[in-house]
Structure 1
Amino acid sequence: MIRQLFKGVALALALAGATGAAEPIKVGLVLIDSGPFASNYGMGDAARLAVDMLNAQGGAVGRKFELAVQTHPGTPAGAIAAATRVVQQDGASFFTGMFFSSMSLALGPRLQGLNALMIDSNSQSDELIGKSCRANYFRTAANDGAVINSFRSFLAKSDAKTWNIMAIDFAGGHDFARKFSAMVKERGGSVGLTLFNPLGTADFGSYISQLGGKPADGLAVMVVGNDAITFAKQQQQFGLLAKYRTVLSNTFTNDIVLGAQGDSTLGVVAGISYLASLPGERNAAFVKAFESRYKRRPNFIEADVFVTFELLQAAITKAGSTEVPAVRSALAGLKSDTIFGNVEMRAADHQLVRQMLMAQVVKGEDGKPAFAIRSVYPGPANTPAPDGDCKL
């Protein structure tokens, strides 16, 4: 079967060569070039590796993939402008990149007019697959509801009843705070302080003072990017996290920022969508290829980008076309084998049904902080049911 597939790909490529090289399939990658998220955490590395690996397999429908990159300053208006450029100027019918929920919510209504598919590998807000869902919007990133469910399962054996919340003042942060508070109340607990920090906060002193003055059993933290490093280091000076029996992280500590945080987050339990140590042959091959090229292990953002390209290739192959309506129909309900294992792009709301992990920050064998996987929650059991407000 595999030999026949490769023969078919070879024949398609030969025919393309006989009539002139087939036009590449342009895929847009929209990155942030200024502000706290200007590094984009290796999204470009993952996208380039994905394009090269998929092209080595023959691309899709006899055509190779080609990356088109546009940047923006990290605002909803900037994201709209960059996405518009990558579609209208660069000719990309499909795009992904560094988008936060507020940016994705702003982009959603524009997608039909652009006649392009956005496959979001970064935003978490459930609103994007609820009342604000769009036919041309798909998401490979884990949503807030899946993160909350992993926390719910992990805390089923915990005696923590009272909680404080620290979250970013973004759509995703408010969404997480609402859902986490509801989960705590479902379990018979209560939430005391809920604090929100603006993106780019340099001094967390007032937040640390408030959280330290009224500690609860547990603290749930969704502080992201450079802010997560700043908060971790500043709280360590006052022993803030040590005042809580349980500290849960939603993007606060992860495989991107852990090295910079040092020992400041030891003991924190993180809900995280991916670690390079995730079992599976396909993931092992991806990690090996990534390490060979970049001399480091891939992080969760890079893995989500890679899966986005895997699914796009599978959808185009299934559709037998690169026309947006055909690929949209093929992607909705698509079941495919990826580095995450077998996943499904749910037709009802365009959310990828995929695994979640709970991992704790521990001392590694080399004495440096590392993640130890405590639980793996399969997608079908952990992903919340579709929101009835989503009308595609």
Structure 2
Amino acid sequence: MSNYLQRIGAASFAVALGMGSAVAQNTPQATGRLSNDVLRIGVLTDISGVYADISGKGAIEAVKMAVEDFGGTMFGKPIDVVSADHQNKADIGAAKAREWYDVGGVDMINDLANSGVALAVAGIAKEKKRHAIVNNASNVGITNAQCSPYTVHYAYDAYSLANGTGRAVVENGGDSWFFLTVDFAFGHGLEQQVSEVVKKANGKVLGAARHPLGTSDFASYMLQAQSSKAKIVGLASTGQDTINAIKAAHEFGLTKNQKLAALLLWINDVHSLGLPVAQGLQLTNAWYWDMNEESRKFARRFQERVGYMPNMAHAGDYSSTLHYLKAVQAAGSDDADAVSAKMRSMPIKDMFTQNGTIRADGRMVHDMYLWEVKKPSESKHPWDYLKLVKTIPAAQAFMPLEQSTCPLVKKSS
């Protein structure tokens, strides 16, 4: 057991040890074989760019926590965690994934912040027959055009965000939209999904302005949004881009006559903005650190390691890594096809979700939640930022399987 677990005391040690013991006791296959005498997990993430705060070192530590809680070994052999910065460039991410799969002995790659990177790595995972788990990208192509038995889309996607925040805003009268969209696969996919929700509700999309990743000056984009006269300005971005856009909207007075819809807002973003600016914003997330006692225990352990509370992707990194390890143990080997079958047959019930299942297309379906940012007067302690508006059941949260274009999905005649 790691020095970290020793340091946090007997109570936390018992929790972590209990989780690892439960895996060993409840998994049918307790012995097995690894192909190269080590099980290696790669965390491919944004360590230095605009998504570093919502991914980065937090993603790496969440995966390490899952390995520690599992017990640190598989069939008596070590479980190794390696990490790399993809720099938000699909070619760099793809090259690292290929290197890891070909010569690095990596069995599974996790996190994959940035949809362009995630789509590229999913294609390589399919080619190499190695596992990839996406927790920090939204493009639905991961479980459509790029689907395979080896890729799982875990925490959220553009469809679930559109049918959470987007639908709630439309239902509350927000029937005309203008989008400020980050100009790559993530932003395009999110804009498309929300546009479909708006149009199905007889609303109108009045236009969109595309901005580069890592934009700091939103002045010209705010002027375009204001001149559109749309009731809702949808922010099809995330991380620092969304933070900068929200700050600019307040500075330019846009929020006096129009409302913002932040389509992928993180607890980290709320922390950066502060409640006086972020109050009232609605967001769809799969998980919140203060949901229940189990989530709070994980969050406090995480905070001790990295200095801030985890978001839904960090929780997904942890949960999906633990699920993968359980599947390897149940399969009795790291054979990719055997592990894939186990991952799809085993239910997911942990601090991330109580009703998770992985479909044939690789989409992990679970309940999603619509939250609202609290007023400063409503917050009682640090990181007490969100209040629950409604639960979106798993069956409604994600794209119906019959709409999937994944060739692994059998269509009824």
Instruction: After TM superposition, give the deviation of residue 209 of structure 1 in Å.
Output: 0.8
The one-letter code sitting in structure 1 at the alignment partner of 2:164 is S
The one-letter code sitting in structure 2 at the alignment partner of 1:169 is D
How far apart, in 2, do the equivalents of 1:66 and 1:117 lie? Answer: 15
How far apart, in 1, do the equivalents of 2:257 and 2:270 lie? Answer: 21
Q: 1:211 to 1:269 in 2, by over 3 A?
A: same
Deviates more, 1:363-372 or 1:92-101: 363-372
Which structure 1 residue ranges, 5 or more long, are not aligned? 17-21
Indicate the SS of the match to 1:376: strand
Q: TM-score, normalised by structure 1?
A: 0.87
Indicate the SS of the match to 1:390: coil
Residues 304-319 of structure 1: pairs in structure 2 closer than 5 A: 304-319=316-331
Q: 1:151 to 1:74 in 2, by over 3 A?
A: closer
Q: 1:128 to 1:4 in 2, by over 3 A?
A: closer
How far apart, in 2, do the equivalents of 1:290 and 1:265 lie? Answer: 24
Q: 1:195 to 1:369 in 2, by over 3 A?
A: farther
The answer for the alignment partner of 1:240 in structure 2 is 254
Q: 1:137 to 1:201 in 2, by over 3 A?
A: same
Q: Is the 8 A contact 1:68 1:90 kept in 2?
A: no
Structure 1 position 355 matched with structure 2 position 367:
yes
Q: Paired residue for 1:99, among 92, 96, 113? A: 113
How far apart, in 1, do the equivalents of 2:351 and 2:291 lie? Answer: 9
How far apart, in 2, do the equivalents of 1:99 and 1:144 lie? Answer: 14
How far apart, in 1, do the equivalents of 2:82 and 2:237 lie? Answer: 30
The answer for the alignment partner of 1:44 in structure 2 is 60
The one-letter code sitting in structure 2 at the alignment partner of 1:114 is K
Residues 217-232 of structure 1: pairs in structure 2 closer than 5 A: 217-232=231-246
Q: Is the 8 A contact 1:33 1:74 kept in 2?
A: no
How far apart, in 2, do the equivalents of 1:260 and 1:249 lie? Answer: 14
How far apart, in 2, do the equivalents of 1:378 and 1:73 lie? Answer: 35
Indicate the SS of the match to 1:341: coil
Q: Is the 8 A contact 1:72 1:79 kept in 2?
A: yes
The answer for the alignment partner of 2:394 in structure 1 is 379
Instruction: After TM superposition, give the deviation of residue 369 of structure 1 in Å.
Output: 8.1
Structure 1 position 391 matched with structure 2 position 403:
no
Q: Is the 8 A contact 1:32 1:71 kept in 2?
A: yes
Q: Is the 8 A contact 1:361 1:372 kept in 2?
A: yes
The answer for the alignment partner of 1:77 in structure 2 is 91
How far apart, in 1, do the equivalents of 2:174 and 2:211 lie? Answer: 24
The one-letter code sitting in structure 2 at the alignment partner of 1:372 is K
Indicate the SS of the match to 1:311: helix
The one-letter code sitting in structure 2 at the alignment partner of 1:344 is G
Q: Paired residue for 1:337, among 349, 352, 356? A: 349
Q: Paired residue for 1:121, among 120, 132, 135? A: 135
Q: Paired residue for 1:213, among 201, 205, 227? A: 227
Indicate the SS of the match to 2:385: strand
How far apart, in 2, do the equivalents of 1:168 and 1:187 lie? Answer: 24
How far apart, in 1, do the equivalents of 2:163 and 2:25 lie? Answer: 44
How far apart, in 1, do the equivalents of 2:22 and 2:289 lie? Answer: 32
Q: Is the 8 A contact 2:285 2:369 kept in 1?
A: yes
Structure 1 position 185 matched with structure 2 position 191:
no
Structure 1 position 274 matched with structure 2 position 287:
yes
Number of corresponding residues? 379
How far apart, in 1, do the equivalents of 2:333 and 2:66 lie? Answer: 20
How far apart, in 2, do the equivalents of 1:87 and 1:229 lie? Answer: 35
How far apart, in 2, do the equivalents of 1:254 and 1:4 lie? Answer: 31
Q: Deviations over 1:241-264 (max 9, x none)?
A: 2322x432222x321122222333
Structure 1 position 135 matched with structure 2 position 138:
no
Q: 1:135 to 1:189 in 2, by over 3 A?
A: same
How far apart, in 1, do the equivalents of 2:323 and 2:22 lie? Answer: 21
The answer for the alignment partner of 1:176 in structure 2 is 190
Q: 1:338 to 1:155 in 2, by over 3 A?
A: same
Q: 1:295 to 1:106 in 2, by over 3 A?
A: closer
Indicate the SS of the match to 2:289: coil
Q: Is the 8 A contact 2:51 2:113 kept in 1?
A: no
How far apart, in 2, do the equivalents of 1:217 and 1:174 lie? Answer: 21
How far apart, in 2, do the equivalents of 1:158 and 1:315 lie? Answer: 43
How far apart, in 2, do the equivalents of 1:319 and 1:145 lie? Answer: 32
Instruction: After TM superposition, give the deviation of residue 38 of structure 1 in Å.
Output: 4.4
Q: Is the 8 A contact 1:353 1:380 kept in 2?
A: yes
Q: Is the 8 A contact 2:348 2:356 kept in 1?
A: yes
Structure 1 position 35 matched with structure 2 position 49:
yes
Instruction: After TM superposition, give the deviation of residue 337 of structure 1 in Å.
Output: 1.0
Deviates more, 1:90-99 or 1:285-294: 285-294
Structure 1 position 265 matched with structure 2 position 281:
no
Q: 1:51 to 1:208 in 2, by over 3 A?
A: same
How far apart, in 1, do the equivalents of 2:170 and 2:113 lie? Answer: 32
Q: TM-score, normalised by structure 2?
A: 0.83
Q: 1:213 to 1:365 in 2, by over 3 A?
A: farther
The one-letter code sitting in structure 2 at the alignment partner of 1:99 is A
Please identify runs of 4+ aligned residues in structure 1 that moved more than 6 A. Answer: 2-5
Q: Is the 8 A contact 1:310 1:338 kept in 2?
A: no
The answer for the alignment partner of 2:104 in structure 1 is 90
